[in-house]
Structure 1
Amino acid sequence: MKKLPLNLKIYIITIYIITFISFLVFFKIEYIIFSSIEFDVFIFFIFLTTLTESLTVIYRKISFSTSFAITVASFLLFNTFNAIIILVLGFLFRLTKDNNKYKHIFNTPFYGTLFNCCGFTLPILYGSYFYKLVGGTIYNGKLDSNLLPIIVFGIVFYIINTFIISIVFSITNKKGILYSFLGNFKLVLLNTFAMTPFGILLAYIFNLYSYAGVILVLFPIVLARYTFSLYIQSKSQYVQTVDALMLAMEARDKYTEGHSKRVAEISANIAKELKYNDWKIEQLNMAALLHDVGKIGINDEILNKPGKLSTEEFDIIKTHPLIGYNILKDIKNLENVLPIIRNHHEQYDGNGYPDGKKVEELSLDVFIVQLADSIDAMSTDRPYRKALNHDMVIEEVKKYSGTQFHPKVVAAYFKVPEKQKSKVRI
């Protein structure tokens, strides 16, 4: 914990204190009941939690775990305290693999393990409070029993758990808390609410058929985990495909090696200033990486000509946005980036190419990539000129704001911290 930033240390300790105080208060007002549970049943549900936690799928530092179904069932069947103990112990005994390394309780920092335990305890405590506040009662074994209260429990659990994690992201990534929360919104929402119906069903089946019934319910839960896994794999393959296309394109043009990655980085910095969420930034990143893919279809003699291009040759170069669009238009999941690829050489005043579109016909995304592309092009050596220095690039951007560049995008770029700008300079 010594190596952590001071504000993160303070936050972690604060969560420890809040959890401890909350537990005492809830115990005093009798929202925490120490109900008895058979030892073999207790061990069985810990095992189920450990199993599902060990099968966690991680994407963009967000965990997709089917253990929430076990938590819902534990809460319904055994009340708040036992649900907390089952989830915490199940989490402690889990075994996961990340970057080809196994993670378990013995190689995880104690402060992090304790923080995660608090991150589970608080959502259950306050979820239990709101569960009872909206009329939730002791589970009577019926499938439709306490349906609305358990949905409320799931919502509260989701919000608190996500908020706790989002503050960590906010501190470590130096982003706003709300920005971090909204960035994780859809992914965690999918995980939490996909598992709530399974948790209700699990409690119902266990109440009727004990262990044998649970085995049957585990099949769709494991299938849900497998679906999450396939989704993550498809996203990873999607990124790998984009990288392969980018490398193929840059192999054709030695003067633009690394250009697409720098354009993506500049675009992301501008998008953050414009308060884009993580999903939109990811789409913009894909578009930036692929914006010049159409150069694959340009003749090498023109593409790598050591001098200035003739008018006819430049007209051929100007076809690359359309070539890129046609290459990618039939690829699934690229629908949102196609307009950016086609239009990244359009201008604010309508004098761009290939279609000469007006500003009203174009999204702000187009102008983000367009400005990023121009900034990196000016900052890079070309066959017919040397790179401009940073001050000269800034002057060019100011000069053409409102004609070539969108003023709102230019203003956002000038708000990007100087430290981030320096990372993309040549």
Structure 2
Amino acid sequence: MKELPSSFKKLFYVVVTLGLGLSYWFISNHSWQRADLLGLLAFALLAVISESLPVSLPKGGYVTVGYAIFMTCLILFPIGVTIPIVLAAGILIFGKAGKEQLLYKRIFNASQYVISISFAYLIFNLFNAQHARFDIVNLISYFVAAFSYSLLNVTIVSITLGALFDKSPWYMWRINIRWSIPNFLALAPLAILTSMIYREFGVLALFLLFIPLLLARHSFQLYMDMRKNYLNTVEALVTALEAKDSYTSGHSSRVAEWSAKIAEELKLAEDRVEFIKYAGVLHDVGKIGVSEDILNKKGQLTESEWTIIRNHSAIGEQIVHSIDFLFDVSSTVRSHHERFDGNGYPDRIKGKDIPLESRIIALADAYDAMTSSRSYRESLSPAEALIELRRVSGSQLDPDVVVAFDNIMQRENPQEQQSPRKDVQIVKC
């Protein structure tokens, strides 16, 4: 933990201290019975298996079907029985997840599980609900308690990820809530069914019901893998295209990375950030229809050659439009060379009529072009490129996007913003 941010360390000690304190209080004050031990062992085993099969979220963190196990325990048992179950789920994980989770992470996760489930029990008891009863009052109290658990859980995770990655907790909350809440909503009713089957048929039926839970987890994992494979496929195609020109190798992936950062700085929704990442990778795919002699020409291009170059965005639109899962990206690819003042191409649209995604990619494209060497010129420093981006703000580029990028650069590379040359001119791209 020595290399971790101090803000995370403080949060770690607060969460662990509170989690351990609650655990000691509830476990020591429970009047244990033999039936409690049987339930504890059965559900602890299921919870450990569930937590050992996590599905990673796009921006950090993960979800598991362990939530359904925890919520079943909330219905069936007093909190003194549930606490050891969630502790076991957080600490005793195995397999690939066990190798990746260091001990301090397990302790932290177990502690925040304890805090979240304790809060859920507090809400549950505010309704004077009774365990393992299924009348309307108990059902309402259960769903409110289940939602309370998920809300607090996501909040703790978001604050933690914000501290670890130096991101706004609110931003991390918005990112993770989008993926976590559907998981919680799907699993909460399943917990009711699980508790009813356990009460009626016992432990054996409980393990049979666990199979659909694992299938639900597998389906979610396939979905997340599919999203990742889509982008990997696109990046492989563009890498093959960039092999035609050694000077532009890696250009599209860098544009995609900068575009995503700008989108996050503008606080766009996570799905739009993902959309912009796809568009950034593909923005120059239309150059597949441009001769290598023109792309690699040293010196100035003729007007006819510029006409061919300018046509690449329209060609890119046609290529991307034919890919079903990237259908909406095509208009962004078409417009990434439009200028804010209306003097761009291919449609000479201007201002806010240009898609925001295209305005973002236009800046990322210009910045990477200026800071990369070409056959006909040397690269500029980040500070020199930033000065030129500021100069063309409002003419070539959207001023709001320039401000967002400026903020990123000042925050990430403050030492590089010193002593730029004064003879800076933006490159055509």
* Amino acid across the alignment from 2:168: G
1:271 Cα offset (Å) = 2.5
* Amino acid across the alignment from 1:43: L
Q: Pick the aligned partner of 2:176 from 184, 190, 193.
A: 184
Contact persistence 2:36–2:81 (CA under 8 A)? no
SS of structure 2 residue aligned to 1:346? coil
CA distance 1:392–1:121, shift in 2 (3 Å): closer
* Amino acid across the alignment from 1:86: I
1:128 Cα offset (Å) = 0.8
Deviations 1:312-337 (A, max 9, x none): 11111111112112112132332443
- CA–CA distance in structure 1, aligned partners of residues 188 and 390 of structure 2: 53
Q: Pick the aligned partner of 1:43 from 26, 41, 44.
A: 41
1:156 Cα offset (Å) = 1.0
- CA–CA distance in structure 2, aligned partners of residues 243 and 422 of structure 1: 30
Please say if 1:83 is aligned against 2:46. no
Tell me the equivalent position of 1:224: 216
Tell me the equivalent position of 2:115: 122
Please say if 1:258 is aligned against 2:250. yes
Please say if 1:332 is aligned against 2:324. yes
* Amino acid across the alignment from 1:137: Q
CA distance 1:303–1:26, shift in 2 (3 Å): same
Question: Taking every aligned residue pair, what percent have the same amino acid on both sides?
Answer: 32
Contact persistence 1:265–1:424 (CA under 8 A)? no
Tell me the equivalent position of 1:345: 337
1:27 Cα offset (Å) = 8.8
* Amino acid across the alignment from 1:251: A
Contact persistence 1:143–1:200 (CA under 8 A)? no
* Amino acid across the alignment from 2:12: I
CA distance 1:343–1:207, shift in 2 (3 Å): same
Tell me the equivalent position of 2:425: none
1:289-304 superposed matches below 5 A: 289-304=281-296
1:401 Cα offset (Å) = 1.3
Contact persistence 1:143–1:201 (CA under 8 A)? no
- CA–CA distance in structure 1, aligned partners of residues 414 and 373 of structure 2: 17
Contact persistence 2:61–2:157 (CA under 8 A)? no
* Amino acid across the alignment from 1:93: L
Tell me the equivalent position of 1:149: 141
Q: Pick the aligned partner of 2:371 from 357, 365, 379.
A: 379
- CA–CA distance in structure 2, aligned partners of residues 9 and 353 of structure 1: 51
- CA–CA distance in structure 2, aligned partners of residues 94 and 190 of structure 1: 24
1:214 Cα offset (Å) = 2.1
Tell me the equivalent position of 2:427: none
1:144 Cα offset (Å) = 6.0
- TM value normalised by structure 2: 0.89
1:393 Cα offset (Å) = 2.4
- CA–CA distance in structure 2, aligned partners of residues 74 and 138 of structure 1: 9
Q: Pick the aligned partner of 2:127 from 126, 134, 138.
A: 134
SS of structure 1 residue aligned to 2:344? coil
- CA–CA distance in structure 1, aligned partners of residues 354 and 30 of structure 2: 59
Tell me the equivalent position of 1:244: 236
1:24 Cα offset (Å) = 7.3
Tell me the equivalent position of 2:11: 11
Contact persistence 2:321–2:329 (CA under 8 A)? no
Contact persistence 2:75–2:195 (CA under 8 A)? yes
SS of structure 2 residue aligned to 1:280? helix
List gaps (5 residues or longer) in structure 2. 418-429
CA distance 1:10–1:62, shift in 2 (3 Å): closer
Please say if 1:108 is aligned against 2:102. yes
Contact persistence 2:91–2:107 (CA under 8 A)? no
1:169 Cα offset (Å) = 1.0
- TM value normalised by structure 1: 0.89
Deviations 1:139-177 (A, max 9, x none): 22x486722111111211111111111112111111111
Tell me the equivalent position of 2:62: 63
- CA–CA distance in structure 1, aligned partners of residues 403 and 265 of structure 2: 9
- CA–CA distance in structure 2, aligned partners of residues 303 and 3 of structure 1: 45
1:219 Cα offset (Å) = 3.0
CA distance 1:402–1:88, shift in 2 (3 Å): same
Q: Which moved more, 1:17-26 or 1:361-370?
A: 17-26
- CA–CA distance in structure 2, aligned partners of residues 330 and 132 of structure 1: 56
SS of structure 2 residue aligned to 1:416? helix
SS of structure 1 residue aligned to 2:56? strand
Tell me the equivalent position of 2:424: none
- CA–CA distance in structure 2, aligned partners of residues 144 and 207 of structure 1: 18
Deviations 1:242-295 (A, max 9, x none): 210220121122221121122223223322332234443232222211111111
1:382 Cα offset (Å) = 2.4
1:20 Cα offset (Å) = 4.5
Q: Which moved more, 1:43-52 or 1:394-403?
A: 394-403
CA distance 1:273–1:423, shift in 2 (3 Å): farther
1:12-27 superposed matches below 5 A: 12-20=12-20, 22=22
1:11 Cα offset (Å) = 1.2
- CA–CA distance in structure 1, aligned partners of residues 366 and 391 of structure 2: 13
1:333-412 superposed matches below 5 A: 333-412=325-404
1:414 Cα offset (Å) = 1.7
Deviations 1:363-406 (A, max 9, x none): 32211110111111122222333333445423322222111111
CA distance 1:414–1:108, shift in 2 (3 Å): closer
- CA–CA distance in structure 1, aligned partners of residues 310 and 135 of structure 2: 63
CA distance 1:42–1:339, shift in 2 (3 Å): same
* Amino acid across the alignment from 1:108: L
Contact persistence 1:269–1:420 (CA under 8 A)? no
